[in-house]
Homo-oligomer: A and B are copies of this chain.
């Protein structure tokens, strides 16, 4: 692992769409944000809706008739890839906090090894949003010439203190929950209260004040969603947060969340050297950097910084600061606007520079 320690027999879960061509040069590797699985879109093997449905598919922006798309579940997550909730072969118990320190670099490397195991030596494109937007930068830093193109969506070259502060509060709501039990909670009794609170704070900050206003205003909560304590829930926005929070508790392992969240705080591309030199070594042919002006967590100025490093390294780069009001999560919501940018880039029709 990047910060020391090792995993033996680690597994990676991934899904693919489309067909690898004979030249093996049409592969697109997709990393995810903090919480999704590798199921980016419906497929014959799993017809359920994916986390980027409408973006990945035949004749869509990420066109599976052209690309062999590989989406990996991040190392450290809990949807098939090895993580803190997985069994440690040495003890036959879950790793829990015995899992080694996890870095964005480890997530990148696990994706790289997955691609290599498929007999692909160079990607057409490496792409990722949010946490995945950090991972693609680590990928470029660690594996020069391993991808022809890069798409960095709502990421950053170095976690900012505002995002660090918010993520560390989320982690502390979990570790403060007595049910966390120092990480040793039984699977059937997770730190549900802490996880609920962490997810609520995440959800609020993944969007924007303007969007909450537009969606909820001061609409009162539905009677069946009213909370038990007199200080909790009077407004529809609170009911919405509660619904998403409960869903998250049953879907995601708390220790995995803690490891992945901390890996984001620690990410700083500059540990690999001057970012311009890093990108020069990476030998990318082209890059697309997408930011969203209403993003509270990964500010558009951070994305602009990534684009400037790339340009200074001589990589033809398009920087798209999008006017979406959905905040950090816009890539999941405004499929049309993001799809237009990504589709144009992948088909080689984008205009370098800033729109």
Contact = CB atoms under 8 A, between A and B. Distances in A.
Contacts of A166: 201, 204
A173 B173 contact: yes
A161 B213 contact: yes
A319 B241 CA distance: 34
Given A209-B296, A218-B268, A261-B231, A238 B165 contact: yes
Interface residues of A, number: 53
Contact of A231 (B165, B171, B212): B171
A200 B231 contact: no
Interface string A212-243: 11011110000000000111111111100100
A289 interface: no
A162 to B, nearest CB: 4
A176 interface: yes
Interface in A287-307: 296, 299
Interface in A39-84: none
A278 interface: no
A204 B165 CA distance: 7
A143 to B, nearest CB: 24
B261 A212 contact: no
A159 interface: yes
Contact of A237 (B161, B216, B258): B161
Interface string A179-213: 00000000000000100010011001000111011
Given A168-B235, A173-B173, 19 more contacts: A97-B230, A160-B212, A161-B215, A161-B235, A162-B204, A162-B208, A162-B237, A164-B238, A165-B200, A165-B204, A165-B238, A166-B201, A166-B204, A169-B241, A171-B232, A174-B231, A175-B229, A176-B193, A210-B299
Interface of A: 97, 158-166, 168-169, 171-178, 193, 197, 200-201, 204, 208-210, 212-213, 215-218, 229-238, 241, 258, 261-262, 265-266, 268, 296, 299
